[in-house]
Amino acid sequence: MDTTFSQWAWLIPLFPFAAFLMLLAFGRGQRMLGVTLGAASSFAGLVLSILVLIEHMTDGTAYYQYAFKWLHFGSVTLNAGFEVTNLTAIMLVVVTSVSFLVNVYSAGYMKDDERISVFFSYVALFSFSMLGLVLADNMLTLYIFWELVGVCSFLLVGFWYSKPEAKAAAKKAFIVTRIGDAGLLLGILLLYWYMPDHALDFVRIGNVFEGNTGVIAAGVTTWIAVLIFIGAVGKSGQFPLHVWLPDAMEGPTPISALIHAATMVAAGVYLVARTFDIFQASQTAMDIVAYVGGFTAIFAATIGVAQNDIKRILAYSTVSQLGYMMMALGLNSLTGGIFHLFTHAFFKALLFLGAGSVIHAVHTQNIHEMGGLGSKMRITTWTFAIGALALSGIPPFSGFWSKDMILHTALQEKPFLFVIGVAAAFFTAFYMSRLFFLVFMGKPKGDHAHESPSSMTIPLVVLAVLAVVAGFIQTPWNDTLGTWLTDGAEKAHGGGGLVMVISAAVGLLGLYLGWLVFVKGTIARDAVSSRAPWLVRLLERKYYMDELYEMLLVRPLRGLGLLLNLIDDYVVDGIVRAVGGTAVLFGRGGTRLQSGQIQTYGLVTLLGIVILIAAIVGRRFW
Amino acid sequence: MLADLPILSLITFSPLLGILVLLLLPKHRSRWLKVTAITATIIPLLLSLWLYADYDGTKGGKSYEEKATWIETSLNKEAVGEVTSYTVNFQYHMGVDGLSMPLLLLTTIVGVMAALASVHVKKRWKSFYIWFLLLEIGMIGVFLARDVFLFFVFFELTLIPMFFLIGIWGFMNREKAANKFLLYNGIGSAIMLIAFVVLVATAGFSVEQLSDKQQINLSYSGSYEVISSNLTDPGSYVNMPADQNQGQDNPLYLSERMRWVIFLLLLIAFGIKLPVFPFHTWMLQVHAEAPPSVVMIHSGVLLKMGAYGLLRFGIFMFPGVAQDWAVALAILGVINILYGAVLALVQNEFKLVLAYSSISHMGIVLLGIASFNEVGLNGALIQMISHGFISALLFLVVGSLYERTGSTELKDLGGLACSMPFMSGILLAAGMASLGLPGLSGFIGEFLSLLGLFGSMKVITGIAVLGVILTAVYVLRSILGITFGAMPERFGAVRDVRLIEAVPMITLLAFIVLIGVYPAVLTEPMKHGFDVLLQQLTEKAGR
Amino acid sequence: MLSSYLTMAAILFCIGLYGALVKRNAVIILLSIELMLNAVNLNLVAFSKYGVVPSLTGQMFTLFSIAVAAAEAAVGIAILIALFRARGTVNADEYDEMRR
């Protein structure tokens, strides 16, 4: 296939990688080098990605794939390579654009940190891995980058390593996602042994599973799909492996925007979309995806209502929105999932960067200690408002269109999930209005707040624009994205006026309720907590998930470890010592016999001879 | 050029040169002694790199073989008929193939790094380095020997230097650890010797018909080729002409039960070295008590001798029996992985965490072996090499760490990333390699081993994958405990690494990354390492 | 004829053996050893005269053995005297230096 830019797509991840290497080698003490290299490399990546995207927009069938033998022995060949499809192209743009903006933003946000060049090198490494993940043409390559983004996330969450919370959060992030990764790994193993020719590339996976031709038994297909989904659950913070994502907010805020809102956590959704043929071949797997997604959406949204940390609220909102994406995929709507991923990347990055701007100004993350920032930080306030409206699903902001599409699919496929989705949308709107009104309205709690420097506000404005317009690529009247992404297989779900009205109404209702409670005061703030304190407590403690894990996994494992340690010391090593002891005992007994009395020896010898003779002679007569 | 040189002997015995020079040096000139010893380890490294560059995997390593008659004893039996001689002979037979080439490189590289790391040794440098170089001779010899008796001699040669290195230069309980090491490994060697004697006395029998006359030479030999061809190809048993070969009625034929017993003996002998649960307790003490630079050798290379022996003698000589044992091997591997990982989780001493992690990682080697397919066997070998580099790196860091902090107890350490960013970075990278992060060598070994095993035993692989999670848990717990968190006051003045410590760290890390990114550096020479074995296995399956 | 010599020798040997194993006095033990030696000598002479293939070798051997026994007795007594000087006892039970 003749392509102009796609064949150079492999350069996109290499820009940040080069930046990473240079920072690693020369970064020490060079404060400006990190900023420059980070921004420059991601900008180069962005330009090339946009060119690739344009190429794919103009020619819907543009496609480029290249693979080489990475590991080869005997009859076994494992390939590595990259592939540019329409889906990859759009993901490339999402990742590079958010990455570029975050790099610019961090120049201001991290200005005073002494390890700024380390920070930028980590971000560059992350961008490299994430872009590699997007471009990967087979499961193994994808898995490699999948793990690398995990480790970058770990490094960045634990960036302020001397804080115990950061250390704990980094550890948790790594281990919990690792649980998911183990599932994905098993999925790949299964795929390797069942695929014809042990092929792992997405093209052939697609061919084999498409249309459910029965090359691979239905049970195995379900297993593969479920195992891959477990990987996605870990990475995308789906229930029950969501627990790491809110804790990961210990990292610097730009990181939360880049990794834990826009790109890496969406990798799970991307993975499911990439292997969509496998899922489509198994209805069971699809149902699992849909219900897990739906449950996560409502589950996290309710927790978000009772949190007090600005970043944690956003984190739970991310979990909830990822749940929406998964639900869309599970309802057989690839476009819905990817569309929501696309819009969510912009408005959630916007919200996080806005939150970062707020934190930068007031040096706290507790929303009850903020207030009245609206007049002091105009740009931040306005852009944050746009992000909040987009997230709450208010037309015509981007979040409305993508959420509407998902809800519409749900209504057609599984009305039960539609109800859940609507309820989650209501909670989303409510906690966003709570967040917004508490932070930006009301009485100022401190007077030192000020607007952030332009390096931070410009990305906010850019993202705000994107958060407004990104939704128009796919509306009920215009299915550009769907047709382009799925080669026309998925049509836009036409009309759907009712769904639009419901979803907009629910969003507005949530906002209005928030307004009543937190601005007007018509409803007392403790209306719920005074009547059902247990409910508030339950939500505040996040349904006791952490405690549950502690009780069910961590403690038993530690207990088992201690028990085995005792066994190792006393039983396994004890047997060894016992064997040694027995030998020593025999030796002691032996020394007793060694009396030194030559006459005793003589007597014993004599006895021995007599017995010998008796035996030899006796044998004759037997 | 290379073919004309006795390159293998040169590699093996070049440390002797260092020993000679060391003997001539006065024993208080520590700087001279160190420089000499380090130089002496570099020579075999350069030679083996040369060999690697010249090595052609497709020939299966036949081009480098060195043979010389070593021990030849005539058995006092009168010649009957055409039989002209009747002897026991052990040859000095060295060779290199796809299985030993990577291990040879590992040994020489880790040797240099450990010699560099030995700058922390505080006393009796002269005898330390002499033992050290002697140990290196033994290790190289083990991987190159092609005669069971020669192998045994080299294998034993590693024990004695280790005994003294642990016993004299170790930590508090060094003497106890040294004793336990020697006893345990001595028992292992004894069991191995029994197995070898039986092998020599049965399958080592060969008949050589001289072409010019009707003369026949009968001999019992320890030659690896003779024994393995006799064992694996019953058709040509003891090299007898077809009409005289009575197959199973042949008195020298090893019955199925006998093979089973010998395999078990070899499994125990090498299992102690590997170590396989429940024979692992000795190596915990060695890890904890030996000086870190010696542990680099021990964990990096000596443990691999167990795996190598198991592969070379257990699996290659008895592919049939081994395959019947595959499930047992896999279960042992899984036990090793999980048991090591769970125990590593609760240790409070960093060296013990690493010791248990070694047990866990060697379990992966067992899994790869148990898979009995190309992928898994290659995975096992890569895992051996990779674990060698990783654990060497980890103990290198432990040595430098102990120099500065005076403790490796987890509760005493913390926040070191603040005062020692470079070393913490290396430690974190090594930990990541250990937990199997792609892009670093640990992943390749782990992935291929699991991939291979999954082809034959799905459920066991599923359980083994749990180890992947647990590994992450204990690695992060211990390493983050050391590097992250608030820094105690007393570490404020601690300095980061010096150049002489940084060089081996970066070198080892470079190899870890190289294997992780481009594993073909290892798989290329191995190309024909497993062909023969797999061919035999498929033949067996076909029969 | 032969059997009476042999019986005699056997009785002598047993007396000697008994003394060597049971007596505490080192001098008596030495004497008992002499007795046993002589019992053997008696056997040798008897076989050389009445054996299946009579020959002088037996008698030669006896002479040889007597000579050796004399030397041995001399050395033995000498050691004994030295021991007695050092330890002040001839009780064989107390000669257990090697064990310590």
Calculate Rg over the CA atoms of chain B.
24
Closest-CA distance, C67 to chain A, in angstroms, reads: 25
**pLDDT tens for residues B149-200?**
999 999 999 999 999 999 999 888 888 899 889 988 998 999 999 999 988 8
| Whole-number Å distance between alpha carbons of A572 and B281 | 8
Whether pLDDT at A490 is above 70: no
| Domain final position from A540, A572, A597 | A540
pLDDT of residue A1: 47
Closest-CA distance, A572 to chain C, in angstroms, reads: 38
Q: Which are the contacts of B538, defined by CB distance < 8 A and separation ≥ 6? A: none
pLDDT of residue B542: 47
User: Where do we find the tokens 């030899």?
Assistant: A616
Whether pLDDT at A494 is above 60: no
Chains that touch B (3 or more CB pairs under 8 A): A
| Whole-number Å distance between alpha carbons of A621 and A441 | 118
Tokens, residue B184: 């345990």
Say if residues A281 and A221 touch (Cβ distance below 8 Å). Answer: yes
- A-B CB pairs within 8 A amount to 123
**Residue ranges of B 279-338 with Cβ closer than 8 A to chain A:** 280-282
Please name every residue paired with B218 in a beta bridge, in sequence order, or none if there are none. Answer: B86, B207
User: Does chain C reach chain B with at least 3 CB pairs under 8 Å?
Assistant: no
| Domain final position from A540, A568, A592 | A540
Q: What is the mean pLDDT of the segment spanning C36-60? A: 90
Let me know if residue A119 belongs to a domain.
Answer: yes
Q: Which are the contacts of A599, defined by CB distance < 8 A and separation ≥ 6? A: C20, C21, C22, C29, C92, C93
The answer to whether residues A382 and A457 belong to one domain is yes
Residue A383 lies in domain: 335-540
Cβ–Cβ below 8 Å for B487 and A171: no
Q: What is the mean pLDDT of the segment spanning C64-92? A: 90
Q: So what CATH class is C2-94?
A: mainly alpha
Say if residues B470 and B341 touch (Cβ distance below 8 Å). Answer: yes
Whether pLDDT at B543 is above 50: no
Mutual angle of helices A164-194 and B441-456, in 10-degree steps: 40
Whether pLDDT at B288 is above 50: yes
Between A145 and A377, residue with greater pLDDT: A145
CA-nearest residue of chain A to C24?
Answer: A599
Cβ–Cβ below 8 Å for A182 and B469: yes
Minimum-distance CB partner of C98 among A596, A599, A606: A596
User: Where do we find the tokens 């299966």?
Assistant: B60
The answer to whether residues A433 and A581 belong to one domain is no
**pLDDT tens for residues B345-364?**
888 889 999 999 999 999 99
Whether pLDDT at B1 is above 60: no
Q: Is A494 on the interface with B (CB under 8 A)?
A: no
User: Does chain B reach chain A with at least 3 CB pairs under 8 Å?
Assistant: yes
User: Where do we find the tokens 């084999």?
Assistant: A208
* Chain C residues within 8 A of A603 when measuring between CB atoms: 21
Percent of chain A at pLDDT above 90?
A: 14
- Determine the 3-state secondary structure of B145 from DSSP: strand
Q: What is the mean pLDDT of the segment spanning B523-540? A: 67
Cβ–Cβ below 8 Å for A603 and C21: yes
The answer to whether residues A362 and A467 belong to one domain is yes
Residue A621 CB neighbours (<10 A) = 5
Q: Is B124 on the interface with A (CB under 8 A)?
A: no
Cβ–Cβ below 8 Å for A162 and B484: yes
pLDDT category of residue A79 using cuts at 50, 70 and 90 = confident
The answer to whether residues A523 and A556 belong to one domain is no
Whether pLDDT at B238 is above 60: no
pLDDT of residue B449: 92
Domain count across chain A: 3
Closest-CA distance, A599 to chain C, in angstroms, reads: 5
What was the ipTM of the complex prediction?
Answer: 0.90
Q: What is the mean pLDDT of the segment spanning A259-270? A: 88
Q: What single-letter DSSP state applies at residue B313?
A: I
Closest-CA distance, A619 to chain C, in angstroms, reads: 24
Let me know if residue A264 belongs to a domain.
Answer: no
Q: What is the mean pLDDT of the segment spanning A279-307? A: 89
Q: What are the residue ranges spanned by the domains of chain B?
A: 2-62+93-199+256-533, 63-92+204-244
Cα-Cα-Cα-Cα dihedral of B67, B298, B515, B100, to 10°? 10
Query: For chain B, what is the mean pLDDT?
Result: 85
Please name every residue paired with B90 in a beta bridge, in sequence order, or none if there are none. Answer: B71
Closest-CA distance, B430 to chain A, in angstroms, reads: 13
**pLDDT tens for residues A192-220?**
988 888 888 888 888 888 766 667 788 88
With helix as H, strand as E and coil as C, how does A80-149 read? EEEEECHHHHHHHHHHHHHHHHHHHHHHHHCCCCCCHHHHHHHHHHHHHHHHHHHHECEHHHHHHHHHHH
Tokens, residue B162: 């280790």
Q: Which of C14, C28, C99 to mutate to test the interface with A (most CBs of A within 10 A)?
A: C99
Nearest CA to B127 out of B159, B179, B165, B158 is that of B165
Q: What is the mean pLDDT of the segment spanning A454-476? A: 84
| Whole-number Å distance between alpha carbons of B249 and B236 | 14
Whether pLDDT at A75 is above 80: no
Tokens, residue A275: 């292997």
Q: What are the residue ranges spanned by the domains of chain C?
A: 2-94
The answer to whether residues A584 and A436 belong to one domain is no
Amino acid letter at A387?
A: G
Whether pLDDT at B419 is above 70: yes
| Whole-number Å distance between alpha carbons of A100 and A263 | 12
Minimum-distance CB partner of B484 among A158, A186, A190: A158
Tokens, residue A316: 């739970």
Q: Which of B181, B268, B371, B454 to mutate to test the interface with A (most CBs of A within 10 A)?
A: B454
Tokens, residue B101: 């080439």
pLDDT of residue C99: 64
pLDDT of residue B248: 53
pLDDT of residue B513: 92
Measured in whole angstroms, how far is the alpha carbon of residue B406 from the centre of its chain?
Answer: 30
Which of A13-27, A446-460, B209-223, C73-87 has the least mean pLDDT?
A: B209-223
**pLDDT tens for residues B101-121?**
889 999 999 999 999 988 888
pLDDT of residue B73: 81
Which of B255-269, B326-340, B356-370, B513-527 has the least mean pLDDT?
A: B513-527
Amino acid letter at B223?
A: S
pLDDT of residue A133: 92
* Chain A residues within 8 A of C98 when measuring between CB atoms: 596
User: Where do we find the tokens 């049939």?
Assistant: B320
Amino acid letter at C23?
A: K
Nearest CA to B283 out of B166, B190, B192, B151 is that of B166
Say if residues B120 and B498 touch (Cβ distance below 8 Å). Answer: no
Please indicate, yes or no, whether the overall pTM of this predicted structure exceeds 0.80: yes
Closest-CA distance, A616 to chain C, in angstroms, reads: 20
pLDDT of residue A491: 58
pLDDT of residue C75: 94
pLDDT of residue C98: 65
Which stretches of chain C sit within 8 Å of chain A by CB? 17, 20-22, 29, 92-93, 95-96, 98-100
pLDDT of residue A71: 84
pLDDT category of residue A535 using cuts at 50, 70 and 90 = confident
The answer to whether residues A533 and A562 belong to one domain is no
Between B50 and B205, residue with greater pLDDT: B50
Closest-CA distance, A613 to chain C, in angstroms, reads: 16
**Residue ranges of A 520-579 with Cβ closer than 8 A to chain B:** 557-558, 560-562, 564-565, 568, 572-573, 575-576
Let me know if residue A150 belongs to a domain.
Answer: no
| Domain final position from A119, A137, A155 | A137
| Whole-number Å distance between alpha carbons of A117 and A420 | 45
Chains that touch A (3 or more CB pairs under 8 A): B, C
